[in-house]
Structure 1
Amino acid sequence: MTSSNSRRKEPIKAVLFDFDGTLSTLRAGWEETMAPMMKEAIAGPRALTPEDSKSLDDEIAAYIDQSTGIQTIFQMRWLAEKVAEKGWNPHILGEWEYKAEYNRRLLQSVNGRIADLEAGRLEATDFLMKGSEAFLELLRERGVDMYVASGTDHPDVVHEAKVLGVQRYFREIAGAPVGRADCSKEKVIADLLKEKGFRGQELAIIGDGKVEIRLARENGALALGIASDENRREGVNPVKRERLLAAGAERIAGDFANAGEWLEWLGLESR
């Protein structure tokens, strides 16, 4: 874990969580779905040389890394622009068409996992970051308002939170608006600060992507990173850790198992 010597002068009153990769691992492996789809769309019928293939793989991987946390539609917009820019594939789709195909591929695995949960073949703990539900319970006991903002489509993130049994902890779950390219995370933060009246220093934002960390820093909120290993559901993913450090995360952990330290970071340990 990463921390600093400074201690909070006042406790956090509200926490905004990212969902995928922060609390839930139902969508673990999305990068392995997105990358080959992007490569297929960009290359089209062109037979790539080994050099072209590696260069394209590297370009796609770099983009996915730096775009983690944004809405899928913006990633698909990049893809549509890249297909046109390379000129290798004469069949260029629109960003929404690319998103539909990506969702179709990804949901094959996600829906299989949900089916296993609903049938009792797997438990919610098989898809929750270690210690997450206990941590949410501690926050609820301390009267902290909790929210979720996700780049995943709104109906999907609500359903997945319900399937995992964590929906009950949140005052609001905001996913990407269906059919619109709006940033749900920016909107939720603006609502918390302007409409619900929280001050920046009363709000913590917890996530595994650069987007939510950047938004936290821009709005004066506490920026907490979770460098999650989504396969093991515990421990630190060093790639994510470096990404979060570069984005300006003030504290970083790999999971929620050490609830005491999280509560200390939030100024809640003595409550």
Structure 2
Amino acid sequence: MDRQQKGQVQAVLFDFDGTLSTLRSGWEETMAPLFKEMIAGSRQLSVEEEAELEREIDAYIDQSTGIQTIFQMRWLEQRVREQGWNPHVLSDWEYKAEYNNRLLLKVNERIADLREGKLAPSGFLIRGSVELLEALHSRGIPMYIASGTDHPDVVNEAEVLGVRNYFASIAGAPPGRADCSKEKVIADLLAQPDFGGEGLAVIGDGKVEIRLAKENGALALGLASDENAREGLNPVKVNRLQAAGADQIAGDFSDLNMWLKWLGL
């Protein structure tokens, strides 16, 4: 913690969901019931079995936050097979399709309301997001998005929230492929001749991007966002980001001067 940036950063990589956008807020409440339903099948669980299964699912979702969805569905497929309660086992991609269908019911309603002007983008952006993006843009700092959400969805959601044009590129999960976009984007940025690891800052709310930043010598800034309030600290995320080794942690971007100082600007 408390690493100080040596000189100004040369580029900033953002996670998207939970870091800038709250359009998908509540995804855990979609994933957990799906996992429980698929693992249990038609079995009538005892109180003890149900409690233990829910604890296992919650723990897995917490520790896997930030990875590509398909890898979470691979875990589900494996657990359905191992548990043996549900004889009807789907493939990881079939589980992902079902999860996306359920999640997007809510997300697409929000997007439609945004497009029709019934809702404002500010209602789905972490507090201070646009001000930080504008400050970085005005200073000529290139910005990127890397996300475990499907690429077309990330691009569409960045557009509907009015932030797409701030980014030099957006990399989401390739549809139908299990490439890990976050690793690739960070590796590609580090390979550019204009800056080394110390010139790159990674900002995210999940341990995956924080771990990758630390492994590659980049500045790791944790965003422990309360996605419902869109401001303030979420203690669960604080613990997760501390464990991942974040250099600094905040709950939102409202203190612009603090963020610029962290970035050496």
Select which of 161, 181, 187 maps to 1:164: 161
Structure 2 CA distance for partners of 1:197 and 1:180, relative to 1, 3 Å: farther
- Is residue 33 of structure 1 aligned with residue 30 of structure 2? yes
Contact 2:5 2:219 in 1 (8 A): no
**Secondary structure, aligned partner of 2:143:** strand
Give how far 1:124 is off.
0.3
Distance (Å, rounded) in 1 between the aligned partners of 2:82 and 2:178: 22
Equivalent residue in structure 2 for 1:20, among 12, 17, 21: 17
Which of residues 100, 103, 107 is equivalent to 1:103? 100
Pair 1:10 & 2:15 matched: no
Q: 1: distance between equivalents of 2:6 and 2:249?
A: 20
- State percent identity of aligned pairs: 68
Number of corresponding residues: 265
Asked if the contact 2:145/2:170 (under 8 Å) is kept, the reply is yes
Normalising by the residue count of structure 2, what TM-score does the alignment of the two structures yield?
0.99
In the alignment, what sits opposite 1:233?
230
Mapped to 2, the partners of 1:8 and 1:79 lie a distance apart of 40
- Cα distance in structure 1, aligned partners of 2:5 and 2:73: 40
Residue 84 in 1 paired to residue 81 in 2?
Answer: yes
* Post-superposition CA distance 1:47-70 (Å, at most 9, x none): 000000000000000000000000
Q: Distance in 1 between matches of 2:4 and 2:211?
A: 21
TM-score in terms of structure 1 length: 0.96
**Change over 3 Å in CA distance of 1:111–1:131 after alignment to 2:** same
Structure 1 runs (4+) greater than 6 angstroms displaced: none
- Out of 91, 94, 99, which is 2:91 matched to? 94
Tell whether 2:261 aligns with 1:264.
Answer: yes
1:196 Cα offset (Å): 5.6
Q: Which residue identity lines up with residue 134 of structure 1 in the other structure?
A: E
Residues 6 and 198 of structure 2 are in contact (CA less than 8 Å); yes or no, is this contact kept in structure 1? no
AA at the equivalent of 1:46? R
Aligned-residue offset at 1:266:
0.5
Q: Give 2:129's aligned residue.
A: 132
Corresponding position of 1:185: 182
Match for residue 113 of structure 2? 116
Amino acid at match of 1:163: V
* Rounded Cα–Cα distance in structure 1 between residues aligned with 2:192 and 2:78: 36
RMSD of aligned Cα (Å): 0.9
Superimposed CA distance per residue, residues 196-228 of structure 1 (whole angstroms, 9 cap, x where no aligned partner) = 643000000000000000000000000000000
